[in-house]
Structure 1
Amino acid sequence: MGKRLPLLTTFGESTFKDLPKSFDPRTKWPNCKTLFEIRDQGSCGSCWAFGAAEAMSDRLCIHNPEAVKGTADIVRLSADDLLSCCSICGMGCNGGFPLEAWEFWKRKGLVSGGLYGTKGVCRAYEIPPCEHHVNGTRPPCSGDAKTPKCKHTCQPEYKVTYAKDKHFATKVYSIRKDEDAIKHELFTNGPVEADFEVYADFPSYKSGVYQHVSGALLGGHAIKLMGWGEENGVPYWLCANSWNTDWGDGGFFKILRGENHCGIESDINAGIPKV
């Protein structure tokens, strides 16, 4: 195991007694539009950067009272900036470490970004979208994209400097492997980054609560974990993937909750933005 972020100190059971039976952050913070969005990591093993940048973007809104009211612009933090410039995060498109991504947000900050080809932001994603395990109009993902180069400049038409466009965290931390502690964090501060073991029966997911039944281990995958509930008596975590909207349930999926299924509860990272 590598190093871990500081564990967030949570309180006793009284802290958790008011948690609802189900929770979807899109209902609690409807003006935080990033909660409704799904990104596409393209043919690059950058899930670690996407799960982080997505949850960080949500939190940037959730912790800004004006944005929550719908009276401030929504900022989408750049997965490209994180992927290309975080030298301690691992191997870029060949995989990386979620906890280091959160540390980078605190130490170096992230500029505005968004989907491939987005205008009006500092650093849009540079790797084009592709089809992740589904048939569609885009080319199938090959997984062989090169990590973009780190550039400390914004797109030519963007009028803010790279340094001035940076957004930072005030603190970053891990959440202990405890269902109620994770729920409390989601309910209080917004989505987190989680990772889990992907088996051969996961890529074909369409709906319902995913439970691994058969198939070989394909590798680790980082995602945004955002809510919880029950479906037909089966407890689940609600997650957003980064395989575009035509994968899974509109880009989202549910996975069994409370049993650390495929390791989903064992590496939860989060942080509080500076607003």
Structure 2
Amino acid sequence: SHVPLLCVSSQAGHNFYNVDMTYVKQLCGTFLGGPKLPERVDFAADMDLPDNFDSRTQWPNCPTISEIRDQGSCGSCWAFGAVEAISDRICVHTNAKVSVEVSAEDLLSCCGFECGMGCNGGYPSGAWRYWTERGLVSGGLYDSHVGCRPYSIPPCEHHVNGSRPPCTGEGGETPRCSRHCEPGYSPSYKEDKHYG
């Protein structure tokens, strides 16, 4: 079998020459230098660690571990990273007795300045603090009608051509905070909260 090679020359240049730095910072999504979480150091030198480890096979009854969510045209990687890890940790900690998709929409829209600027970037440490102090409700993917507050920003193609429309850039309009579940969902918003 033969694989054809495509030779393309590239040219170094200024990608962001004469561009406002606030725009460049919006592309990053996560703010550094935000509130710090307490450090925890465990010495693991005497532990026998495996050569390979796949959390999907270790915890097959935790479906969120293998789920890939799409943040759409919103700089919400800080919120997605947090709620995906939180969802996985809840399932692993309860030995799959509790499997919940924690709502990125709830965190993104309701955390406020404690977490950053919504679709224009945020602090992962603020997200974890918000979960422990205020709690987060459930919520699935865009248009899934799963959970109390599913994600409201449609998925898009990130830097590739595909079946969905192209993303319009990071940033965008942050959804409004709503402390109500979508119609037809029960329990109530307050009763659906999960805390760290």
TM-score, scaled to structure 1: 0.57
- Could you say what the CA RMSD is over the residues aligned between the two structures, in angstroms? 1.3
Deviation at 1:3, TM superposition (A): 3.0
Match of 1:64 in 2: 94
Deviation at 1:74, TM superposition (A): 2.3
- Does residue 147 of the first structure (1) align with residue 181 of the second (2)? no
Alignment of 1:105-124 (within 5 A): 105-124=131-150
Aligned-partner residue type, residue 168 of structure 1 = Y
Aligned-partner residue type, residue 140 of structure 1 = P
Deviation at 1:113, TM superposition (A): 0.5
- Structure 2 counterpart SS, 1:53: helix
Aligned-partner residue type, residue 80 of structure 2 = F
Aligned counterpart for 1:80 among listed residues 101, 105, 109? 105
Counting matched residue pairs gives 162
- For 2:105 and 2:146, the matched residues in 1 are separated by 15
Deviation readout 1:40-63 (Å, 9 max, x if unpaired): 000000000000000100111001
Deviation at 1:11, TM superposition (A): 2.6
Task: Classify 1:73/1:12 alpha carbon distance in 2 versus 1 (closer, same or farther; 3 Å).
Answer: closer
Match of 1:133 in 2: 159
Contact 1:127 1:145 in 2 (8 A): no
Contact 2:34 2:125 in 1 (8 A): no
Deviation at 1:134, TM superposition (A): 1.2
Which structure shows the bigger proportion of residues in strand conformation?
A: 1
- For 1:57 and 1:12, the matched residues in 2 are separated by 25
Deviation readout 1:122-150 (Å, 9 max, x if unpaired): 00001000000111111100025300001
Q: List runs of 5+ in structure 1 lacking aligned partners.
A: 170-275
Match of 2:122 in 1: 96
Runs of 4+ in 1 over 2 A off after TM superposition: none
- Structure 2 counterpart SS, 1:27: helix
Deviation at 1:115, TM superposition (A): 0.4
Aligned counterpart for 2:80 among listed residues 18, 40, 50? 50
- For 2:43 and 2:162, the matched residues in 1 are separated by 48
Task: Classify 1:26/1:38 alpha carbon distance in 2 versus 1 (closer, same or farther; 3 Å).
Answer: same
- Does residue 4 of the first structure (1) align with residue 41 of the second (2)? no
- Structure 2 counterpart SS, 1:13: coil
Q: List runs of 5+ in structure 2 lacking aligned partners.
A: 1-32
Match of 1:41 in 2: 71
- For 2:187 and 2:101, the matched residues in 1 are separated by 15
Aligned-partner residue type, residue 164 of structure 2 = R
- For 1:5 and 1:102, the matched residues in 2 are separated by 9
Contact 1:120 1:157 in 2 (8 A): no
- For 1:11 and 1:23, the matched residues in 2 are separated by 20
Match of 1:28 in 2: 58
- For 2:98 and 2:41, the matched residues in 1 are separated by 32
Aligned counterpart for 2:187 among listed residues 129, 138, 160? 160
Deviation at 1:12, TM superposition (A): 5.1
- For 2:91 and 2:44, the matched residues in 1 are separated by 28
- For 1:118 and 1:8, the matched residues in 2 are separated by 37
- For 1:5 and 1:45, the matched residues in 2 are separated by 22
- For 1:43 and 1:12, the matched residues in 2 are separated by 40
Q: Percent identity?
A: 60
